[in-house]
Amino acid sequence: MSSSLAGQIALVTGATRGIGKAIAENLVAAGATVVGTATSEKGAATISEYLGQSGTGKTLNVTEPGAIDQLVADVQKEFGKIDILVNNAGITRDNLLMRMKEDEWDQVLETNLTAVFKISKAVMRGMMKNRHGRIINIGSVVGTTGNPGQANYCAAKAGLIGFTKALAKEIASRGVTVNAVAPGFIDTDMTKALTDEQKERIFDTIPAGRLGRPEEIAAAVGFLASAGAAYITGETIHVNGGMSMV
């Protein structure tokens, strides 16, 4: 097993299951120590359990004022630094725009975009001082293609790409890269919520003819976290089985 991330500390939000869990496991396999966050105590315990000696789970509700700064301070105190930040936590509140409530819009923007700004801001100073860091934002294919019923989610994910590019330009000179990974349709609880009709329509648009696996997203994240990706910044890697080629 490669240990290219030995000695590095990674913070992965939304790590209880699905893509976040696969990312945490990929980084651990590469030698990193991982702090994974969950919204509930139970989720944090689940993370601590699967990480074992390689890390720990912590609770983080990104919409709770002050919670992000507190978590980042705690991790820096406990582990000394944060080398890798993976902004993975995300929610959907789907509705056709004509029926979309302001609350559904606000919640999705708050968790999927505003929280990324807050967490990135909290960790970047340490990375800049260390002259090394990786910020990896998990986007979505629909941030580029759009998807009916997901105007809020698409807006947040498209915004994430602009954020990624701007921050990448700001801090590239400090050895900190900022990139995004945009999954297509991946076999997780989030896509299990789709109706059969939705799924069938989606399958027709995926040249690979199948859903992606969380590990296939994690592999791209693992690459961006590695030393070999030091010269890649502001980029979005699309992992979608050919569904959208940008």
Partner 1 sequence: MSTIEERVKKIVIEQLGVKEEEVKPEASFENDLGADSLDTVELVMALEEEFETEIPDEEAEKIRTVQAAIDYINKHSA
Cα 38 to Cα 60, 152, 198: the distances in Å are 6, 22, 28
Determine, following the binding rule CB under 8 A, whether residue 67 of this chain makes contact with partner 1. no
Instruction: Give burial (CB, 10 Å; 0-12/13-18/19+) of 236.
Output: middle
The only residue of 45, 170, 192, 230 in contact with partner 1, by rule CB under 8 A = 170
165 annotated as belonging to a binding site for a ligand: no
- Considering the complex, state which of residue 42 and residue 169 has its C-beta at the smaller distance from partner 1: 169
44 annotated as belonging to a binding site for a ligand: no
- Considering the complex, state which of residue 53 and residue 173 has its C-beta at the smaller distance from partner 1: 173
The only residue of 17, 81, 93, 125 in contact with partner 1, by rule CB under 8 A = 125
SS3 173: helix
Determine, following the binding rule CB under 8 A, whether residue 195 of this chain makes contact with partner 1. no
Distance CA 152, CA 225 (A): 29
Distance CA 50, CA 21 (A): 9
The only residue of 174, 226, 232, 236 in contact with partner 1, by rule CB under 8 A = 174
Is residue 153 annotated as part of the catalytic site, yes or no? yes
Q: Considering CB under 8 A, how many residues would be counted as binding partner 1?
A: 6
SS3 60: coil
- Considering the complex, state which of residue 29 and residue 128 has its C-beta at the smaller distance from partner 1: 128
Angle between helices 18-29 and 41-51 (to 10 degrees): 30
- In the complex, the residues that contact partner 1 under the rule CB under 8 A are 125, 128, 170-171, 173-174
Residues with catalytic roles: 153
